[in-house]
Structure formats: C-alpha cells, structure tokens
Amino acid sequence: MKIKSASDYMESLKKLSPVIYYKGERIEDVTASPATAPHVRAAAMTYALANMEEYGHLAAATSHLTGRTISRFTHVHQNVDDLIKKVKLLRVLGQKTGTCFQRCVGFDGINAMYSVAYEIDQKHDMGYFERFKKWLVRIQDENLMVVGAMTDPKGDRSKGPAEQPDPDQYLHVVKRTNDGIVIRGAKLHMTGAVNSHEILVMPTTAMDESSKDYAVACALPVDAPGVTMIFGRQANDSRRDLEETIDAGKPSFGIVGGEAVIVFDDVFVPWENVFMDGQTEFTSSLVYRFAAHHRANYGACKTGLMDVLTGAVTYLAQIQGSAKGSHVRDKVTEMIHLSETLYSSSIACSAEGSPTPSGAFMVDTMLANVCKHNVTRFHFEVARLAVDLAGGFIATLPSEYDFRNEEVGHLIKKYFSCVDGLPVEDRVKIGRLIEAMTGGTAMVESMHGAGSPQAQRIMIFREGKLNEKIQFAKALAGIPSRANK
C-alpha cells in the first residue's frame, strides 16, 4: 500500500489542492487549519490502526482482485466474516476517536457500486464493471480515502429530478463527448469530503426514464477542476477553531465527520471513471444497497461512541463521589445494555449477510434498517442518561480562560472540587467531553446520517413479509387461505 501510516496519509493530503471554503475564507491546508485538522486526525486513525498488532487483523484485508494486503476500507466484502470484522473495526475506531472517522461512506459506496456495476453489465454489457475494478485496484494499492457523494439538494421535494425548476438540484450529466462526461450539481452533507483523495458520485434516489441524465455514477479527484467544497459549521466550532484544549471537549478529534457541500460546476469525468450513465432501472438497487451497508455500520461506530460516554459518566461519578449510588449504577447499567443491544443488531445483520450475483456480500437489509432505527433511539437515550448523571454543571462551567486566570482560577478549583485527591481539572475536562458528545451537531448526525428514521421505517414495513405473517396466524387459527378480492 502506498499510504501505510497516519503520517503518510497527512502528507498525501498536502500534495492535493482542493478548493475549500469555511466561514468565508479559503482553507489551503486541511492538515493545518484548526477547523479541519481534528477531522484529519480522526480519519488518520483508520490508517494508524492497521499498524497496531492487536487490530491489524481487523483493519487489513486481502484483495480478491489482486491478492495483495489492503485496507479494509477499500475492500469488497467476500463473506460474512468480512462483514463482521468490519463491525468490530468500526466499534474500535469509535472508541479511539469518540467521533466519525469518515471512511465508511466511501467504503459502502465501493461495495454497492461493485455489485451494481456487475449487474448493469450482465444486462447491457457497458464495460462499467471492468472500469470500476480497474479504478478500485488503484484505490486499494494506494490506500486512498474515498468520499461517497450521494445526497443531492433535492430542491422542491414534491418534484422528481427532471421536474425541478432548477435542473441542478440533482447532479446530472450536461454533456457527453468522445472522451467523457461533464457533470453539474451538488452533493450535500458529505462526510470527510475535505480530507479525502477521491469522490465517488452516486445517484441519490430511484429514477425513471425521464431522469436518465441524473442516473450517473462516477469517480474523480477531490481537486478536479470545477469542484468546490464548502465546509459546514458545527456546535461550539469556535472553541475548536481557537484550539481551546479543554472547552472543545475533544481537542484531538472533531465532534462529527467534518461534513461539506461539494459543488460540481461543469466538471469533466473521463469515460474510464464512469460506472453508470443513464441506466435508471439500477438506481434503486444502488441506493438501496448503499443505504443498507451504511445503516449496518451505525450499530458499530455509534456503539463505540456510547462506550466512551458510558466511561465518561462513570469516571465523573467517581470524581463526584456518587459512583456507589444505586441510581447511578442502574443508569450506567442501562447505558451498557443499550450499547450492547445496538451492537448485537449490527452483528446480526452482518451474520445474516448473503452474496450478490457479483459475489460481493450484502448485509441483511431488514436487520440493517432495524439497526439504524435503533441508533436514532438508543444513542439519544444514552446521551440523555449521560447528561442526567453528569448534572447541570456541564452547561454552566466557566471557560478554561477563567480556569487559568490568576484572579479567579483558584475559585474555580475550590468550588468545583469533589473527591479529595482527584484533580478538579479532570472533572472539568470530562464534563466538556460529555457536553461535546451530547450536543446538537453530534446528535443530529446520529439521527439523520444514513437516512432519517422515516426512511428506515419505510424499508422495515416494505420488508416486513406481512402476507407471510398473516398466513402464520391463519394457520394457527384454523382459517383457510383464500384468494384476496
């Protein structure tokens, strides 16, 4: 692999020149800007883990295309064991970073695109599958980070892509030449976009023949001409931007995944990197498979975050002298219970995985949707319990500037002290960590990442096999089957 370590990864980003704006200013170096550096460090952990003896078997895989050792984040799942190892890896990364490490969207896009490109070619023989494999081998050999770009702005959501007053509300092909295509539009909420190497563009929804120009999947460098990124704001990001070491809560890593808008202003993509162009009947499969893979992930990475929160409130209870209280133990037990229940959901949809016609393995889609739907409840309940146990001081703490002030710093140390012998600074730091991990941006991402709760409920109902369940009930009740009228 060309990029073998966290430092290699950071150096590789310095060689790129993407157009990135944040708060009205251009970011020249994502590894140095206080706004983006914490997100770079979180993604770098995916590279670092591969060099740790205890995690190497999770972080690395063997490419079925070349037989070479590659990062699991560039691997196409070949069996259930691959799916389960992914889950275990993501939980560890959540524990190590306490945030989003950003490579999952591209990872899931790779797996969805691989299987769908194969099926397109089985029907239409477009050469997409061979193109995709050639691109993927390069991604694997160089160990590049790929941002999956799926979510379009959507404009007037009562209208489809081809019905929009502004056609750019969904990314689309505006020109085809002998050498490639030209695309225009935008993708929103793109996790890890500013510190990736390549963009994998995918359609955002199922489409019909009227939207052929919108049924496009392709790959391009993040610094391709015509690509502009606008980095999003987060709760308390001024603390991060000022490099506050305590009040930021997690100074080493970002609160979430460093999401950005990616604008494509007549961007050229050569045919060799085009994997779908107009095959609308396959857009549903691509979106569906991507969503299932991504929803399965959330039961792993969010469990890692919930582990951190559980540890944080447990230590805070020790600092505050309340750890032996029965109500504290009961609430911590509930946090553990919810975390492990969610983790088991992620393991289950992986263990029930099955091969697609391409040979790439898919998670069980029903269980993947159940998994993500549980995230939208369990993570919030764990956060609620963490805030409950922490107490109101995490919302009213004086700043670290006051803590260090000669006039009032000693007063903070005096009146925020707890159990004798434990540093008051520990209490302040752990309180800020809990604040950062239960704040607005972190929880919104947990709710809407990989699709909103309603998206999962639609799929759960659709895959609920209700007719089969009706037959179970009829058979037990002695009701004969009849043709529906």
Residue 191 a catalytic site member: yes
Bridge partners of 201, per DSSP, are 149, 218
Both tokens assigned to 481 = 């089957």
Starting at the earlier edge strand, list the strands of the sheet with 146-149: 146-149, 198-201, 216-221, 274-277
CA–CA dist 243, 32 (Å, integer): 11
Catalytic, out of 151, 191, 283, 303: 191
146-149 and 198-201 as β-strands: parallel, antiparallel, unpaired? Answer: parallel
Catalytic, out of 9, 104, 371, 376: 104
CA–CA dist 313, 382 (Å, integer): 11
Instruction: Find the radius of gyration of the CA atoms of the chain.
Output: 24
Both tokens assigned to 127 = 């050469």
- Under 8 Å between Cβ of 117 and 76: no
Catalytic, out of 119, 198, 244, 259: 259
Across 98-251, where does the E strand assignment appear? 146-149, 172-176, 180-190, 198-201, 216-221, 227-231
Catalytic, out of 119, 198, 435, 445: 445
**From the centroid of its chain, how far is CA 65?**
25
Catalytic, out of 294, 343, 356, 371: 294
Three-class secondary structure of residue 164 per DSSP: coil
Helices (H), ranges, 125-167: 128-142
Residue 21 a catalytic site member: no
SS3 per residue for 345-369? HHHHHHHCCEECCCCCEECCHHHHH
- Under 8 Å between Cβ of 317 and 328: yes
Three-class secondary structure of residue 229 per DSSP: strand
Residue-level length of the chain: 485
CA–CA dist 81, 64 (Å, integer): 14
Catalytic, out of 301, 343, 379, 435: 301
Residue 445 a catalytic site member: yes
CA–CA dist 28, 348 (Å, integer): 43
Catalytic, out of 46, 47, 77, 100: 100
Residue labelled with tokens 């898919």: 362
Residue 349 a catalytic site member: no
314 is in an annotated binding site: no
341-356 burial, b if ≥16 CB within 10 A, otherwise e?
Answer: ebbebbbbbbbbbeeb
Catalytic, out of 22, 47, 214, 298: 298
Angle at 225 between CA 219 and CA 226, to 5 degrees: 90
365-402 burial, b if ≥16 CB within 10 A, otherwise e?
Answer: bbbbbbbbbbbbebbeebbebbbebbbeebeebbebee
Three-class secondary structure of residue 371 per DSSP: helix
What is the torsion angle, in degrees rounded to the nearest 10, for the CA atoms of residue 314, residue 319, residue 320 and residue 323? 40
Residue labelled with tokens 């302040």: 428
Annotated binding site for FAD: 191
Annotated binding site: 191
Residues with a known catalytic role: 100, 104, 191, 259, 294, 298, 301, 445
